[in-house]
Amino acid sequence: MVDVATSPGDGALVCVMEPDRAIQGLLTRLLRAEGYRVVTASDGEVGLRVVAEHRPDLILLELGMPRMDGYEVCRRLRADPRTVALPVIILAADSAVEEMVAGLDAGADDFLAKPFQQVELLARMRSAFRMRQVVRRMEEAHSIVAALANAVEAKDDKLDGHCRRMAHRAARLGARGGLRGPELEAVAYGALLHDVGKIGMPQQLLDKKGPLTEDDRTILARHPEIGERICAPLRSARAFGPIIRHHHERWDGAGYPDGVRGEAIPLGARIVAIADAYDAIFMGRPYRPARTLDETYEELRAGSGTQFDPALVPIFLAEVERVEAGLPSSVPLPPAALLDRDHVEPAGQEPTPVAR
Give contact residues for Fe ion (rule: CB under 5 A). Answer: 195
Helix, strand counts (H, E) of the chain: 14, 5
Are 81 and 333 in contact, with CB atoms under 8 Å apart?
A: yes
Q: How far is the CB of 248 from Fe ion (least distance, A)?
A: 6
Q: How far is the CB of 198 from Fe ion (least distance, A)?
A: 7
Q: How far is the CB of 194 from Fe ion (least distance, A)?
A: 6
- As beta bridge partners, residue 112 has 91
CA distance 27 to 125: 13
Q: How far is the CB of 55 from Fe ion (least distance, A)?
A: 38
Radius of gyration of the chain (CA): 24
CA distance 264 to 71: 40
Q: Toward Fe ion, which CB reaches closer, 195 or 228?
A: 195
Q: Toward Fe ion, which CB reaches closer, 99 or 249?
A: 249
Are 85 and 129 in contact, with CB atoms under 8 Å apart?
A: no
| Residues ≥6 apart with Cβ < 8 Å to 71 | 63, 102, 103, 106
Residues across the chain? 356
Q: Toward Fe ion, which CB reaches closer, 62 or 156?
A: 156
Q: Toward Fe ion, which CB reaches closer, 43 or 195?
A: 195
CA distance 240 to 196: 12
Closest CA relative to residue 335, chosen from 189, 152, 223: 189
Q: Toward Fe ion, which CB reaches closer, 146 or 272?
A: 272
Q: How far is the CB of 220 from Fe ion (least distance, A)?
A: 8
Q: Toward Fe ion, which CB reaches closer, 195 or 249?
A: 195
Q: Toward Fe ion, which CB reaches closer, 195 or 309?
A: 195
Q: Which residue is nearest to Fe ion (CB)?
A: 195
Q: How far is the CB of 204 from Fe ion (least distance, A)?
A: 18
Q: How far is the CB of 75 from Fe ion (least distance, A)?
A: 38
Q: How far is CA 48 from the centre of its chain?
A: 20
Q: Toward Fe ion, which CB reaches closer, 61 or 163?
A: 163
Q: How far is the CB of 196 from Fe ion (least distance, A)?
A: 9
CA distance 356 to 353: 9
CA distance 192 to 185: 10
Between the alpha carbon of residue 86 and those of residues 137, 205, 215, 222, 306, the distances in Å are: 14, 46, 51, 41, 45
Q: Toward Fe ion, which CB reaches closer, 3 or 225?
A: 225
Q: How far is the CB of 284 from Fe ion (least distance, A)?
A: 16
SS3 string of 190-256? HHHCCCHHHHHCCHHHHHCCCCCCHHHHHHHCCHHHHHHHHHCCCCCHHHHHHHHHCCCCCCCCCCC
Going by the DSSP 8-state scheme, the letter that residue 89 receives in this structure is: E
